[in-house]
Structures are given as structure tokens and as C-alpha cells.
């Protein structure tokens, strides 16, 4: 919560007409900021009495507030099967460096092994969904076993310190009537499969995505357990932004692009995510976690 800062609320109000989702970088320490006017390095460096500049690491970061414009293109990157010991953190580094977010559909037993990963996902404004507890094909389970599996995954998320997810991505995208009607969750698949799980080849993943004509509104399937997927993400995140896409979470995409929130016992898959943009987007409020982080006046 250290990155949530006091200007968040006023910034949220300021941007509310276009829909503000505040995720801010660390608050700069004003006393560390050298007044620009006293550093005439360009004019006459020889006469400058300024000491060698302080190490780069001490420069305060510019505050950053993420704003979603519902009129502009957007898509949701999703990463399944983690958290991974190494690769989840590397993907989060890429997202953070580019002021982007994604949705992580995590496996309960992996969350139990690497709980800090989901905490960082939440801190960066990423969305966390459940990908079951041990990656069983949920459509082959009876209702009781299905609910037990999801409850075990929930326990791992809450033990890690994040809420039990409302979103579930069924392993293999396999859904039957029992899965659709008994979990009380929103079932989220995808409409773009990068094939990263099949090729495990960064260049093929990059070329495939860059060759697609229109990614507006897309929910893109990737995985956080392959080095090639991390390498692809490192290229694709900035490339997608250069193409004008806002990288948003699945719930943000549904609100801003489709004008609704994910409903329980409902499947959102290929057909849904191929639909065109709504004329009546929803604007999401600042999340309770972010509001909590705003210090009392």
C-alpha cells in the first residue's frame, strides 16, 4: 500500500469524467528535488559549482496516475498458471515499468508457495483471478469436488493476504453446465490465444500478436510459467501501448468496453470478447484498497 498516495482522491475526482483508476508511483520526496533553475549545466558547465550529481537512484520518481479513456482502444493481457518463482516477478517488473496492468489467473497451490507474488500483483493494480487449486479440468468434477477445489484455492489467496477472487478461469478453458451454474463466480476465458504454451518461442508469440489486425477489446491468453512468455511480454507491452492500446484488467475491460461488471455463474468467452464496444461504459470507482491507502486528512 506504500504506493497509494494522498493525492489519489483529488486526482480521482479530477479525472472522473473520463474514468480514473488511480495507481500511483511512490510519492516523491519534495526535499530531494533540486530546483531546476540553480543547475545551469547546459549554459556553462565549467563554472558550475554544483557537485557531481547525486546517484540516479535518489532521484524522486514522477507520480503516475493511471487513467482509462473509454473512447480509446484497450485490451486485457492475462497470465495463467502462476505464480512462478521467477517469471511472475519479471512480468510484474515489465508491467510496472510501462505503467500497465494485467490479470493473473493463479493456481491455488502455487499461491501457497509464492504468496508475495499475489500481494505485489494487487499493489500494482493488477487483477487476480482463480485458476483452480491444482489445475484440474473442472468440467470433469462433480459439483461438490468442484466447489471444494475452488474453496481450497480461495484459502490460499486469503492466506496470502488478497481476497478470494470473483473471477475464475477454468483450466484448459473447459466448462460444462455444472461449472457454469454452481460456482457463483464469473468464468473468464479469452478470445486471443497467443499459443505461448504451445510454441514456447518468444519471437513466434510476438509475431503472432503483431500480425493480428485488431486487438481492441481483446482478452489475450498468455502464461507466467515460461521464460519465452516473459520475453514476449517485454516486447509486446510497450509495442501494444505504442499502437494506442490501453492495457487494462479484465474487470476494467468489461466495465469500460462492454458497460457491465462480471456477473456470477456467467461465462465470458470468445463470443463475448469479440463483441463491439458499448455506447454506455461504466466508470469503476477507486477500489477499497486504494481508498484505505489514502491517509486521513
Which string of x and - marks every residue 126-165 that binds Ni ion (by CB under 5 A)?
A: ----------------------------------------
Would you call 267 helix, strand, or coil by DSSP? Answer: strand
Chain-centroid distance of CA 237 in Å reads 11
Which string of x and - marks every residue 199-238 that binds Ni ion (by CB under 5 A)?
A: ----------------------------------------
- Applying CB under 5 A, which part among 24-32, 72-80, 149-157, 214-222 lies near Ni ion? 72-80
Q: Would you give the DSSP letter of residue 17?
A: T
The DSSP-derived string for 53-91 is PPPGGGSPPPP---B--TTS-EEEEEEES---TTHHHHH
Active-site residue, 80 included: yes
Alpha-carbon torsion, ordered 207, 122, 260, 138, to 10 deg: 70
- Applying CB under 5 A, which part among 15-23, 74-82, 244-252, 288-296 lies near Ni ion? 74-82
Residues that contact Ni ion, how many (by CB under 5 A): 3
Tell me the closest approach of the beta carbon of residue 141 to Ni ion, in angstroms. 15
Number of H helices, E strands in the chain: 12, 9
Per the omega criterion (within 30 degrees of 0), is the bond before 217 cis? no
Selected binder of Ni ion within 4, 15, 75, 80 (CB under 5 A): 80
Among the listed residues 23, 80, 149, 196, the single catalytic one is: 80
Contact between 106 and Ni ion by CB under 5 A: the answer reads no
Interface residues with Ni ion (CB under 5 A) are 80-81, 171
| Active site members | 80, 223
Amino acid at each position: 500500500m506504500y504506493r497509494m498516495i494522498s493525492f489519489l482522491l483529488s486526482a480521482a475526482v479530477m479525472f472522473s469524467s473520463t474514468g480514473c483508476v488511480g495507481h500511483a508511483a511512490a510519492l516523491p520526496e519534495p526535499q530531494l528535488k533540486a530546483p531546476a533553475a540553480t543547475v545551469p549545466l547546459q549554459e556553462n558547465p565549467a563554472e558550475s559549482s554544483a557537485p557531481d550529481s547525486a546517484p540516479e537512484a535518489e532521484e524522486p520518481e514522477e507520480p503516475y496516475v493511471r487513467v482509462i479513456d473509454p473512447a480509446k482502444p484497450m485490451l486485457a493481457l492475462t497470465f495463467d498458471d502462476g505464480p512462478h518463482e521467477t517469471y511472475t516477478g519479471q512480468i510484474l517488473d515489465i508491467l510496472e515499468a510501462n505503467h500497465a496492468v494485467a490479470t493473473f489467473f493463479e493456481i491455488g497451490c502455487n499461491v501457497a508457495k509464492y504468496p508475495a507474488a499475489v500481494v505485489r500483483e494487487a499493489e500494482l493494480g493488477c487483477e487476480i483471478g482463480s485458476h483452480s487449486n491444482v489445475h484440474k479440468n473442472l468440467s470433469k468434477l462433480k459439483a461438490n469436488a468442484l466447489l471444494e477445489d475452488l474453496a481450497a484455492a480461495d484459502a490460499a489467496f486469503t492466506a496470502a493476504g488478497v481476497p478470494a477472487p470473483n473471477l475464475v478461469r477454468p483450466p484448459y478453458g473447459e466448462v460444462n453446465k455444472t461449472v457454469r451454474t454452481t460456482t457463483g463466480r464469473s468464468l473468464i476465458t479469452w478470445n486471443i490465444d497467443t499459443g505461448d504454451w504451445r510454441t514456447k518461442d518468444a519471437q513466434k508469440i510476438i509475431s503472432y500478436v503483431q500480425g493480428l489486425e485488431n486487438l481492441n477489446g481483446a482478452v489475450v491468453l498468455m502464461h507466467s510459467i515460461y521464460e519465452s512468455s516473459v520475453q514476449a511480454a517485454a516486447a509486446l507491452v510497450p509495442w501494444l501501448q505504442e499502437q494506442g492500446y490501453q492495457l487494462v484488467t479484465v474487470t476494467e475491460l468489461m466495465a469500460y468496453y462492454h458497460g457491465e461488471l462480471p456477473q456470477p455463474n456467467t461465462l465470458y468467452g470468445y463470443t463475448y470478447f469479440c463483441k463491439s464496444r458499448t455506447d454506455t461504459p461504466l466508470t469503476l470507482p477507486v477500489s477499497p484498497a486504494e481508498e484505505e491507502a489514502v491517509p486521513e486528512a
